[in-house]
Amino acid sequence: MKRLSLVLTWWLTANLVLLITLISYFRLNQLKIGSFRPQAGSLISETVGSHAVNPQVLGAFSYNVKSEDAVPEIIKSYLKRHNSPLLPHADALVNTARSYRIDPRLLVAIAQQESNLCKKIPDDSFNCWGWGIHSRGTLRFTSYEDAIKAVTKGLSEKYFGEGLTTPEAIMGIYTPLSDGSWARGVQQFIDEMK
């Protein structure tokens, strides 16, 4: 009797699994897999030709992540990892840079190159970017927010407005005596945040 119940349980289970497999197979075949087109830049699906490589999973959900959405968190993580005094001002930095259509990572990279992310700045200057620091004196700001606004506006008007948008192009005016190491350093820090 025990053997018969085991055989009957196995038979019912095997048939149930077969039935579920067949239903799933037919449902998947009803989907138009060939017409599936992921959005450009999607991190979810890859395509080969016109067909999706990733299988469709019943009951699963998908989402798209834009790289711009990750920038604030990338910057916060970077500032936290380097124990920067700019960390509490990360949102202001991102929002201000974006309002001037400048990649916020550039501001962070310049601050890293110029002051080790604000850890080595002139006393009471809030000047993490070496902005207006030269042999004739040091430009001081009343807060990190004021410095972020001034530097971003200055980069927008004096550099980006003149078509100088890469570290190499910016270096020629920002720090003209550099042998190229300034631009390489800034680019390296930008790359670390990608």
132: left (phi over 0), alpha (psi -120 to 50) or beta: left
Domain-located, residue 59: no
**Considering the chain, what percentage of its residues have pLDDT values greater than 90?**
60
- Which tokens hold the place of 164? 């100088």
pLDDT in tens, 40-89: 433 333 333 444 445 555 655 555 555 567 999 999 999 999 999 999 99
Threshold 0.75, pTM exceeds:
no
Is there a single domain that holds both residue 102 and residue 6?
A: no
The range of the structural domain enclosing residue 136 comes to: 67-192
Is there a single domain that holds both residue 83 and residue 158?
A: yes
Instruction: Count other C-beta atoms under 10 Å from residue 96's C-beta.
Output: 21
Residue 156 carries which side chain, given as an amino acid letter? Answer: S
Is there a single domain that holds both residue 104 and residue 149?
A: yes
pLDDT in tens, 119-152: 999 999 999 999 987 778 789 999 999 999 999 9
- How many folded domains does the chain comprise? 2
- Structural contact between residues 130 and 111, judged by C-beta atoms closer than 8 angstroms: no
Domain-located, residue 11: yes
Domain-located, residue 15: yes
Is there a single domain that holds both residue 48 and residue 77?
A: no
Domain-located, residue 170: yes
Contacts of 168 (CB under 8 A, 6+ apart): 180, 183, 187
Is there a single domain that holds both residue 81 and residue 121?
A: yes
